[in-house]
Structure 1
């Protein structure tokens, strides 16, 4: 069988956003566009809005904007997000990220 499979940046952003959303301690995604502010926490329907895909050295990068639950260790949550996102993108999409960066944009009581 010949041919190729292409995964769009939008599909990759959705995969990463859904993965991050499932990590304990993540309340939701935050808009990557700071003009929108933190007035809204993005639910599952808008998870890709909290992910910015870039390129570094020919590989994809992901900047992931999250809102953490009050009382959790933000560094631990961020580490868990990075580990899970790297695993999922490699396993489900066949893509190794050059970098996955987590940005805690806010904290919210659950």
Structure 2
């Protein structure tokens, strides 16, 4: 018996958002549409709202909108996010991302 497994964009966004929350220096995710501004930092329960899944040449891409902790090295935090997200998505979902982009849209004291 054979079958197929399909992972929805919503499930992928949740996996990516939760993974980003694990990185030291990440306060939370910001709404990807940014209409709400930074008045709302997304917690783990709705972290997927800070992730936009796209497609490039048939492969998934991910844009993450994060709020970083004040005083951290944002480039280091961003690279840690990219490394962890790429690894997690590959091992847990079996998907190779075409691109993973981190957008630091705010800084907040914790």
Given the two structures, how large is their TM-score scaled by the length of structure 1? 0.99
Alignment-derived partner of residue 49 in structure 1: 49
2: CA distance, partners of 1:22 / 1:106: 18
1:60-83 C-alpha deviation (Å, 9 max, x unpaired): 000000000000000000000000
Alignment-derived partner of residue 83 in structure 1: 83
> Secondary structure at 1:38's aligned position in 2?
helix
Q: What stretches of structure 1 move > 4 A for 4+ residues in a row?
A: none
Residue 34 (structure 1) shift: 1.3
> Secondary structure at 2:35's aligned position in 1?
helix
**Structure 1 unpaired stretches of 5+:** none
> Secondary structure at 1:2's aligned position in 2?
coil
Alignment-derived partner of residue 22 in structure 2: 22
Residue 44 (structure 1) shift: 0.5
Given the two structures, how large is their TM-score scaled by the length of structure 2? 0.99
1:27-72 C-alpha deviation (Å, 9 max, x unpaired): 0000001111110100001100000000001100000000000000
2: CA distance, partners of 1:30 / 1:23: 15
2: CA distance, partners of 1:93 / 1:36: 31
How many equivalent pairs are there?
110
Alignment-derived partner of residue 58 in structure 1: 58
Alignment-derived partner of residue 101 in structure 2: 101
**Structure 2 unpaired stretches of 5+:** none
